[in-house]
A and B are shown apart, each in its own frame.
Chain A
Amino acid sequence: MEKILQVNDLHISFDIHAGEVQAVRGVTFDLYKGETLAIVGESGSGKSVTSKALMRLLPTPPSRIKQGEILFEGKDLTKLSEKDMQSIRGAKISMIFQDPMTSLNPTMTIGKQIMEAILKHQKLSKEEARKRAIELLQLVGIKNAELRMKQYPHQFSGGMRQRVVIAIALACNPKILIADEPTTALDVTIQAQILELMKDIQKKLGMSIIFITHDLGVVANMADRVAVMYAGKIVEIGTVDEIFYNPKHPYTWGLLASMPSLDHKDTELYSIPGSPPDLLNPPKGDAFAPRNPYALKIDYELEPPMFQVSDTHYAATWLLHEKAPKVEPPAIVRERMKRFADIVARKGGKPRG
């Protein structure tokens, strides 16, 4: 598969008066053409900072890309001038945000806002842009597009607004769409509609999606591959089947086990004790160690490297080291693992990539 974006060893820090907050501490991943990569993690894990860095949307100062590169179409985005970046942002890589109310201008009609995105990047006449805007509204499933063009954001419901935001993001046929919690503010039935819409459009236009969320249900629904972030690092990455049915990192175990499953009503929920580390002073060794019931001595001393599980599956935990003791994951996770072999076999011996 064709790599469309490569992120190598990205480090991002924020300089605040108390010191340096190391929000992203060495993130590496590839994005393939036409796939959906989900990035999951808790608030403060660095998932939004990573995605904003791809768009160069972080204000400098206080933020600073300390090291690493973001390769897109042969260029390193971390080194582009703001002017060059403007020809990529919104045109080749675009983004949709969590709150559809604050990402639209309340004083401009919907039509004008979509046309603005088109006229900014494409040499079209106003009339052509208007036609294109109507097409886009129809593409995202808004009826009476001609009439809706003249309306203001407050005349749209939350779900409809998010459709408009998606239409603006798609205005220039981007290669990559970054969606930062696009459905978190919506009701479940509306969320289901928006997710279906995104999958549908992806099929039609063939773009790649980076989907940032903390909702594992949404991940299972949308993703081809999943990256799990914790304390500014990717701790596990693999295909959606590998992450949900054959997870290797204790943090991924904790996330999966802390979701109530349908048939474990009377048992107590598995919960990850404690809270995430302070990235002003990241701990020595594995940042997850203090919350990890499976932590080994070495976790407090040395950060684990990425161990390879399969061609597509990597996890940063010492438990995968050949000398590590064998441990039992939580019961809910063990049950998921039982299904993995079945699923792999059914797919012809190869997990979905």
Chain B
Amino acid sequence: MTFLRHRATRRELLLGSGALFAWAYVPRLALAEGRDPRLLVIVLRGALDGLAAVAPVGDPDWQRLRGNDALTLQGADATLPLDGFFALNPAMPNLHRLYKSQQATIVHAVATPYRERSHFDGQDVLESGFTRPGSTESGWLNRVLVNLPSAGRVNPKNAFAVGPITPLVARGPAPVLSWTPSRLQPASNDTMSRLLDLYRHSDPVLARALEERGALNAIVQPGPIDANPMKSPGKPGEAIRAYFTEAASAAAKFMARTDGPRVGALAFDGWDTHANEGAAHGRLAMLLGALDGALGAIESGLGEAWRESVVAVITEFGRTARINGTDGTDHGTATVALLVGGALKGGRVIADWPGLKEMNLYEGRDLKPTNDLRAVIKGLLRDHLRADERVLANDVFPGSQTVKPLDGLMT
């Protein structure tokens, strides 16, 4: 007799938030330059506290603002120094190592154009690429793929198993497929083809949704972790770490293959730290550690392809500069974006630091945005995937003509 456990199994979490969404084509212009670039976008839902992830330890107002919760260079929870002004949360040694070897770039005081504080509108702007929420049902990642000249499908025979929920960033007209491991004995190919036949005749939308499914599980073996979904997960932090690592590792192994997808997206939930944030050893430290583990797993999973890869970690907005009444932070504005990958010209924190004095805070409460996240992503898409700059300004991030792509992100 088996029992459902209290918490999500790894598989459930994969289904809920770690499903991989991937594009199975090779960008042609990059290929013409002798490159075969990979891009993985990781969306952190719930709004990451950028100040707790990358602390401005050199800012004279930092400790006054956060009090005992301010991470500093000294003490038992000493941060990992980056550039003399900023330091990294001690839960992220992998990111620190990558930064030191010029394979990580951190953009601080960055925000999308969204200036209210609703998660769902914020995620809508983050993922849609529009300046306002509710503007569209497609995501910027999908639209850049539609407009990217393709050198042909990677492996037309390998269709993809699908996950239950598609995030907005990946939705749209480009044929994006998703993968999640399935616990059930799958329906036979014969049943599948009969159903597809029925859908083709009576419901083309359902047909399209089901069509790409097939032999993907042959590409990414679920591996031994999935073999026993009921096994004890240990401490909650370890379980979440394992979830993140498993999803990231599967994504990386997928994208490492010569016949694997070149562009993918993952989403991790749980960053909405209203109470007991625990930047040093509580919940946020655990989540950041899990993210750090995921970044490490991506690096090793990509293998040789890591050299040509960029991973962009983004979130809908930041959190209040001050700690709230319940040792957490409420919804804020600017935050950080984390870029890692062998193709980056890294080892830098890019910031036009706004300061933390009362007068410098956005609406007297949040870190003020001085970098536009769209500029960062446009820089990546242009210089890494060779997306067209006009397409980026008009179709991918409509209304961003005045937001110039950030130069010099790539080697």
A and B found bound together: no
A: residues with CB less than 8 A from B are none
B: residues with CB less than 8 A from A are none
